[in-house]
Amino acid sequence: MPAHRKRPMADFSTLGLSERLMQGLAKAQFTQPTPIQVEAIPYVMQGRDLMGLAQTGTGKTLAFGLPLLHRLLGVGHPPPPRTIRALILAPTRELVTQIATNLELFTKGTPVKVVTITGGASINRQTERLARGADIMVATPGRLIDLLDRNAVVLDHTGYLVLDEADQMLDMGFIHSLRKIARFLPLKRQTLLFSATMPKLIEELAHTYLREPVKVQVAPPGKPVEKIAQGVHFTPQGDKAKLLESYLQKHPGEQALVFGRTKHGSEKLMKLLVSWGFKAGSIHGNKSQNQRDRTLTEFRDGSLDVLVATDVAARGIDIPGVRHVYNYDMPNVPENYVHRIGRTARAGAEGSAVAFVAPAEMEEFRAVEKLLKQPIPVIGGAPWAADIVAAAPRPGQKPRQGGRPKTGAKPQGKPQAKAQPKPQGAAKAHPRAGRPAGAPGGHAAPKRAARGPRRGDAARG
């Protein structure tokens, strides 16, 4: 990729944006561009393919959105039916909504149409909207493929492709979806890729879909915002709920985002916090899109003080009021830690992030510190000893049961008589069991391997 020279800090008036966009920026009270906007916008305005590396909360949406709108505002005629001029792909519904909301600040009163395409919404209604064409589509890969399969949208006239939070799309298993979508796009297009981290797959993705891109990097990949005060509290898993309560009580009225590992666990924690008197809500994959949107709206307008979420929200929440992030459960992917805590200290504000680490999570915690290339300050407890870590069940595992009792321990319950094998000819089938294995003429039914969800299915749409 061509070398990139850092540009001196500038204001929006020096970036060549149209007067209409300048008026929109002033109305939205955006006075100073962020570093990623200063570095990226001139190249995008020139029509260059671009790879932008920047941490979350640094203004990447306007870095690609403003020059895109600058081009589209000058077109002057509506798009043909079922076609779109610019495609923006994002990994989650929340991020799709966030991007569209930011763009619509500048398209009100203009002929530029922005449509959002995600799962959890009526595909028939989306098909009807696309029948009239659109200037910008912001979509999740899964639902877009559904529409392509129905021939409800064509990408032959799509001159701009933006892959936002590309690293998370790969983490969620969307690489095959991206390859399929790319086959529908014209070769002659401008492609922009934005990512918070730079794994090897991102380099391969950029090499495949970008043409002689310029690389813009305003912070080392995986480095969190400097204004986030980080800390770790070592605590047993069973003590986390009460510990969280004590932290929340220290900052009454300040908004906090709590990240859990599972949908069930996050919902259970939310209900516990509500029972303790906190104004809490939750978003995760088991919630409908309407429920998720309603909860985010309540969190955004201050009706909720605490939001419990799985990683579905790690890159889809842009709420300036979030002051505290609690990693109730450590993430399985270390990069997700950076995305989680990036939900605070937005737009230059300050924030704090505390990780609760149980013995079984020490491996995940060490992986996070390795990614950050620095230790996280200990603000409670002490790192777990190796023998305690080794004895702790891994997340999702049940503690071992039924082991040999210690010497002198009384057996629990009545002892069960040891079953005696019956003669082969005496085997009698249970009405639901079918013919038993080993019976004359019978065959043991092969066990069917449990099939887990394909990677990316849970995030589809």
Neighbours of 59 (CB within 10 A): 22
pLDDT-based confidence at residue 424 (cuts at 50, 70, 90): very low
Residue 375 CB-half CA count within 13 A: 5
Phi, psi values for residue 344, rounded to 5°? -110, 175
Using N-to-C axis directions, what is the helix angle for 334-341 and 362-372, rounded to 10°? 70
Residue type for position 355: A
Q: What is the pLDDT of residue 342?
A: 81
pLDDT tens per residue across span 339-396: 888 888 765 667 899 999 999 999 999 999 998 889 999 999 999 999 999 988 876 5
The full set of domains in the chain, from first to last, is 12-217 (3.40.50.300), 228-391 (3.40.50.300)
pLDDT mean over 315-343 = 85
Of 163 and 198, the structure prediction assigns the larger pLDDT to 163
Q: Specify whether the CB–CB gap between 135 and 110 falls below 8 A.
A: no
Q: What is the pLDDT of residue 429?
A: 41
Give the closest residue to 346 by CA, choosing from 164, 208, 224: 224
Separation of CA 88 from chain center? 16
Q: What is the pLDDT of residue 6?
A: 60
d(CA 6, CA 43): 12
Q: Is pLDDT above 90 for 327?
A: yes
Q: What is the pLDDT of residue 416?
A: 46
d(CA 148, CA 140): 13
pTM: 0.66
